[in-house]
Amino acid sequence: MRPQISKMIILTILSLSIFAHAEERVKVYAEKVKLISYNENLESSGTIFANKEANLGAAIPGRIEKINIEEGEFVKKGELIAQLSDETLIMQGIEYKTLQKDFERSKRLFKKGSLPEQKFDHVKAKYEASKERYNLIKKNTEIRAPFSGIVVEHMLNEGETFLLINPGLIPGYSHANGIVRLMQLSPIKTVIEINEKDIERVKEGFSATIDLDAYKNQVFTGKVSRIYDMLNPATHTIKVEILIKNEDRKLKPGMFGHVTLELDEKEGMFIPSNSIIHQSGTGQYYVYKLENNIAKRVDIKKISTKDDLTCITGLNKGDIVVTGGKYKIKDGTKVEVINK
């Protein structure tokens, strides 16, 4: 009788153990999916350019007499930067002054009726033509700033002859011939290219952040100032210009970086970023959603990030996702949420 009772006790203990093991639940942390307003981002790469750039030269060849502004110096609009040889100007000035006197004398005689109109018109035409030549030569012996900016480079030196063809041009910048290179560096700009499907999403005035390779620990901000009117037919992209403040001239033309455009505000489903699992070797992401304390794998698509949250598709507001303990469970695992 006693052996039979012992067997019954052992069977009962085993049954209870199996039952307890069957009911054991994995302890996890979980959070609800939230509906949050956010600004969707559009990312691209871009190069820094001067806001304005001009290679300043003349319409006629000539020897460079004087360059008044050193490289790196600031000039105001209209300021004299360089002076070309004025021999031709002096000669033309003598002719101009002579014809001016002839014109004044002929004008007095014409008013008195002592000079035929045809001859007066002839003298007047010669004087006006000489005046135009004089002003043209004068304009091309004085190189003045068309806008305020920095003289970043002397393309030629004093004493050298300015020709209409200058082989010393730098790829990536203006290829116009010149004596000096003038750039407006504050503000400065970057130009990115976006796909044609995104044109309607981008508007002038949108904010942008710029991360430059040259400054790893600093983020710069700017605003969309221009959307070009023509697409590249080969890539189906359009250029977008972003202006950036640069009072300290820290940003230099030619720098390269990553640009993030902040688009219009919208609403989306957000989950803690630490709830997302990346399936190794793929571009697939998924989470474990809880239904009646049972884990269910749900594939998601990441849209954007905001602080420690990620905007996704594939879930609804109020859904519960596992944030802690997600690597201890699998599809169908019974769980116990311990952060209720």
Which DSSP string corresponds to 273-289?
A: GGG-EE-TTSS-EEEEE
Q: 208-233 burial, b for 16+ CB within 10 Å, e for fewer?
A: bbbebeeeeeeebebbbbeeeeeeee
On whether both 163 and 194 belong to a single domain, the answer is no
On whether both 202 and 274 belong to a single domain, the answer is no
Q: Tell me which residue range forms the domain holding 96.
A: 58-169
Q: Which CATH number is 303's domain given?
A: 2.40.420.20
On whether both 64 and 140 belong to a single domain, the answer is yes
Q: Which CATH number is 216's domain given?
A: 2.40.30.170
On whether both 64 and 164 belong to a single domain, the answer is yes
On whether both 108 and 164 belong to a single domain, the answer is yes
Q: Is the pTM of this model over 0.85?
A: no
Count CB atoms within 10 A of the CB of residue 19: 10
Count CB atoms within 10 A of the CB of residue 146: 12
Residue that finishes a domain, picked among 250, 265, 280: 265
On whether both 63 and 81 belong to a single domain, the answer is yes
Count of the separate structural domains present in the chain:
3
- pLDDT tens for each residue of 212-259: 999 988 999 999 999 999 999 999 999 999 999 999 999 999 999 999
Give yes or no for residue 261 having a pLDDT over 70.
yes
On whether both 159 and 72 belong to a single domain, the answer is yes
Residue that finishes a domain, picked among 265, 290, 321: 265
Rounded CA separation 240/225 (Å): 8
- pLDDT tens for each residue of 151-206: 999 999 998 888 866 555 565 666 567 899 999 999 999 999 999 999 999 999 99
Residue that finishes a domain, picked among 143, 169, 195: 169
How do beta strands 26-32 and 335-337 pair?
A: parallel
Q: Is residue 5 part of a domain?
A: no
